[in-house]
Structure 1
Amino acid sequence: MCYSAQVRANYQKLVRQYGAIMSIEEFAKLYSFDPAKARPKTPKGMDDAFAKGDTPAEREVWEAISAWNTEAATKWEKELFQQTTRLNNAQRALESKPTKKAQEDARIAANKIAIAREKLSDLRRTEPLPRDERIFPGVYAPVMVMENDRRVIKPMRYQCRLPGWNEATERQYPGTYNARRDKLEKSWRELFGYQHGLIVADVFFENVEDAEGKNQILAFTPRSGEPMLIACLWSRSPGKDGQPDLLSFAAITDDPEPEVADAGHDRTVINIKPEHIDAWLNPDPSNLGALHAIFDDKRHPYYEHRIAA
């Protein structure tokens, strides 16, 4: 299962490269600042793209993101002060009378200080890094869909909430960030043939066991250097109590490419050809065979792998 991916998170580049338009309304709903609610989990690369927005609507979204960043900075600065105080107290205690408690306090405080400093550094950093575009289940990403015969970019959460589900149901089935091809006409029948999407990604990550049975994370990258056009299904779940609707998606996986199987994993995302984008995004539910034909004609770049950091 593709548990993580490095996506093209900059919506402006997706708009230019794929002739799409952006659903600014959906982005504005997602980022709307409310100190009483939790910040949405979004990749920094998607956030920072709005800093270069040209329109008033984009600038309003950036103002909301900046408000979230200010709140986060305040939180991490407070954490940094508290843990620095804790570390200083522990070090003084160790100088006078070493104890296990003081040693543990010093260790924990040092770890939390490092985390707080990294979080603050990321909030202030303007130089992009590859990890800024990495997503995990529960994190939002720009997804391309078809709407009124136009390619549209919308922000969606990576972990699909199927039609009729609620949060409780979702917790019982946490693996719905991927949709197996052999289950599309069963478990995913309400979405397959109806609500199709596409994410553009450069790397996908998998958990595999090494020769000693220990888990390791492998990063798979097309040797061709071309971005992957990963076929997805998506769903809109009505919001409750005035909250916006939840847009969520799952990446479709198929039997593994030989080199992926050799590396120890049993699934590979479906990387469709560029000429099939519109047919995939505008499906005919009465002709599912045509959709499977797109899968059968998918791209087969050699996926090189490395141990991820």
Structure 2
Amino acid sequence: MCYSAQIKSDYSKFLRQQVPVMDLAAFARLWLRENGLEREKIPKGVIDTVGPRLPPDVSAALHARFAEDEAAWQAEAFKQAKRKADNERKLQTKVTKAASEHVRIATNKIEQLKGWIADLHRTELKGRDWQFFPQWWVPVIVRDGDDYVVRPMRYQLRQPGTPASSDFTRKGEMSGTYNARRDNLARYWRRQFGYTHGLMVIEEFWENVDKPGGGSQRIKFRPKTGEPMLVACLWANWTDPAGIEPDLPCFAAITDEPEPEVAAAGHDRTIINIKPEHVEAWLNPDPSNLQALYEIFDDKQHPHYEHQVAKVA
């Protein structure tokens, strides 16, 4: 899952013995994290469904951030409208490439800003409101004592004891630690594999694949039958040794060799989609019996993943 995925909104029916509890305190901490600056990395579907269940002071803080965003976007839209009008007047006397380009960019930016503002006020949720990307915050089912809880975690695992800079490579690119390869679980992921397991429920996922003639494109995959995917995950809670940054609950999705149809579409990995009967065993791992966990992977679900070229927003 290198590019993106779409969350399944209902997590309540994938555990046989008990329904997971929504960890509202964890969501409240996320809402307040860095004065709401993480809001832009939380899917709208999560904000709109969990937000009303949070304490009034937390919801007020989130709505204050919404108001700040809207004011900033309105100001930028006014700025872009002026830029567009100024260059349209120039074009009336002389057509230049620079003025035409300014008009094009300003027009596109205005439409984008209008869309962002409309989304703030839209109450009817759409499929794209559940889509997330690496470093976004996603609801994950985990074990907490005797209970199962749904808790927000960042989709990129930062190993405890490593610096925050480990999220990126030396070239400044995002590291690939939002995915955990099955063949590396006993090495790089050994502190999580067999200890801290999670489950993410998604409906579809996207991959970046190479085009035959060069370049890349985004491909959307979805089980042909439409059933949700139960994605095996590992998680950790990173703490800042200096005590400056807030704690970072974070996770990675486990990937395996690609399903045939995924490979045929051009991608070399597929998330591990476990069967419902293995959910509780996965969320209650025995670190002394890792072979049992590998057997869960060997018995994973194999839905046929239909695919199509995804539209770029």
Shared topology, TM-score over 0.5?
yes
Alignment equivalent of 1:64, drawn from 48, 57, 61:
61
- The alignment's TM-score, normalised by the length of structure 1, stands at 0.92
1:140 and 2:142 matched = no
1:214 aligns with 2:211: no
Q: State the match for 2:276 in structure 1.
A: 274
1:158 maps to 155
Question: Structure 1 stretch 172-181 or stretch 235-244: which is displaced more?
Answer: 235-244
| Maintained 8 Å contact 1:20/1:152 | yes
Q: Which amino acid aligns with 1:250?
A: A
Maintained 8 Å contact 2:209/2:216 = yes
Deviation of the 1:226 alpha carbon: 1.1
1:43 aligns with 2:40: no
Q: 1:220 to 1:170 in 2, by over 3 A?
A: same
Amino acid at match of 2:71: T
**AA in 1 matched with 2:258:** P
Other-structure match for 2:2? 2
Contact 1:145 1:153 (C-alpha < 8 Å) held by counterparts: yes
The number of equivalent residue pairs is 303
Which residue of 2 is the match for residue 76 of structure 1? 73
Shift of 1:211: 2.8
**For residues 143 and 92 of structure 1, what CA distance do their matches in structure 2 show?**
53
Q: Which amino acid aligns with 2:235?
A: W
Report the aligned-residue RMSD. 1.9
Match of 1:190 in 2: 191
Shift of 1:39: 4.0
1:244 to 222, 243, 246: 246
CA distance in 1 between counterparts of 2:58 and 2:276 reads 31
Contact 1:4–1:135 (CA under 8 A) maintained in structure 2 = yes
Give the Å deviation of 1:242.
5.4
Distance 1:67 1:17 in 2: 35
CA pair 16-227 structure 1, distance change in 2 beyond 3 A:
closer
The one-letter code of the counterpart of 1:232 is C
Gaps of 5+ in 1: none
Q: Distance in 2 between matches of 1:94 and 1:40?
A: 37
- Note the alpha carbon deviations across 1:106-163, whole angstroms, 9 max, x for none: 1221121111111111111111111101111111110110011211111011111112
- Aligned-partner Cα distance in 1 for 2:143–2:281: 10
Report Cα offsets for 1:58-103 as digits up to 9, x if no partner.
5444333322211111111111111011111111122133333322
How far residue 16 of structure 1 moved from its aligned partner, in angstroms, is 6.4
Q: CA deviation at 1:184?
A: 0.4
Q: 1:151 to 1:7 in 2, by over 3 A?
A: same
Shift of 1:36: 8.6
Contact in 1 for aligned 2:36/2:61 (Cα 8 Å): no
Q: Residue 163 of structure 1 contacts residue 190 of structure 1 at CA under 8 Å; is this kept in 2? A: no
Residue 289 (str. 1) matches residue 291 (str. 2)? yes
| Alignment check: 8 A CA contact 1:144 1:199 kept | yes
CA distance in 2, matches of 1:38, 1:51: 14
Q: d(CA) in 2 for partners of 1:64 and 1:223?
A: 41
* CA spacing shift, 1:116–1:256, aligned 2, 3 Å: same
One-letter amino acid matched to 2:202: A
Q: Structure 2 vs 1, CA of residues 58 and 50 (structure 1 numbering), >3 Å: closer, same or farther?
A: farther
Counterpart secondary structure, 2:135: coil
Structure-1 separation of matches of 2:289 and 2:40 = 37
In 2, Cα distance between the equivalents of 1:248 and 1:97?
Answer: 55
| Structural mapping, 1:168-183, within 5 Å | 168-172=165-169, 174-183=175-184
The answer (yes or no) to whether the contact 1:2–1:268 under 8 Å persists in 2 is: no
1:260–1:37 distance in 2 versus 1, CA, 3 Å: closer
* Aligned mates of 1:266, 1:71 — CA distance in 2: 42
- TM-score (norm: length of structure 2): 0.91
Query: Following the alignment from structure 1 to structure 2, what is the Cα–Cα distance between the partners of residues 170 and 205?
Result: 21
Query: 1:277-309: per-residue Cα shift (whole Å, max 9, x none)?
Result: 111111111111111011111111111111111
Q: Name the structure 1 match of 2:85.
A: 88
What's the counterpart of residue 234 of structure 1? 235
Percentage of identical aligned residues: 48
Look up the match of 2:300.
298
Q: Distance in 2 between matches of 1:262 and 1:98?
A: 48
Runs of 4+ in structure 1 off by over 6 angstroms are none
CA deviation profile, 1:226-279 (whole Å, cap 9, x unmatched) = 100000011111145454311111100001111111222111100011111111
Q: Deviations over 1:175-231 (max 9, x none)?
A: 111000000001111111111111000001111123323311111111121100000
